[in-house]
Structure 1
């Protein structure tokens, strides 16, 4: 049986990883949070925008508690506009909406039992419980937080999972030495594989 301890545990982790997502934007200029950093256009602000839409839908529509603001339709997201911010969408607007989504989601999580039923019509097994959605949204947010980690490291070398532990991260010289060791091992393995 899934109990309230599991609900609070998952909810706590979701709250933490949301904060990490926003921390990855801190201190970066407008261009850097928006510019495409992968071949598919992945960017930091777009990840936050995407997560706000995803979370609003899962903790809203699935439990018949729709988010009270207009959001893009799921089928409209096929054009990828949920993954990047246009020039008219401000960083503050996207972050503020994400925080409003958190409040809405947190209210849903708080109001419902962990085994409260929901319905996800686009899933193969559409009848779910709050537990399933908590796990799904936590996994989705964590996946994109991993993307954000790599994007931020590409931009300015910043690493870490939470602001309060950033001071524990190694300095650039330590990272450079580690990369050199890894590069040496990779070259040695490649040379061995050729023989």
Structure 2
């Protein structure tokens, strides 16, 4: 029952967003795919990339020829894997990006685009797994900072309405006091424009 409810809510959100995109004269893009997560900076010695996921519902609005602004909602992961152990940290988060970009048509059906800007994110759930079967939820971590913000850069190739996109996100927030700072996400996603 819970899965059916979530599917109905998702259908309602996509349907409503599609109607709004058509009213505002923009383009709605649904994307999803693989994310490679890690942290860079102070206190990150001994950690490696952790595979994850990222899905987004984006809205592009042209403002001059091929130039556009973009916003939307992203749902994905951030985290890291600890070297030579089964320990890992993974958080599931919600992000709102705001970027500007340019789409260049190579032919009638083929185009490339690039964008840059900023994002704000908040972790909704997650845990630290120490590798021995003991998990600590992020809500139980003392001084855990759920919010993050930073830089986002993306580029993609379009064939008609289908898009293959690479996006790089670099957060600047510290996860917890004396913890790792600078979440890094490399995302490769497939998208479709409505």
Q: Same fold (TM over 0.5)?
A: no
Higher share of residues assigned helix: 1
TM-score tier, shorter chain, comes to: under 0.3
TM-score scaled by structure 1?
A: 0.22
TM-score scaled by structure 2?
A: 0.23
Higher share of residues assigned strand: 2
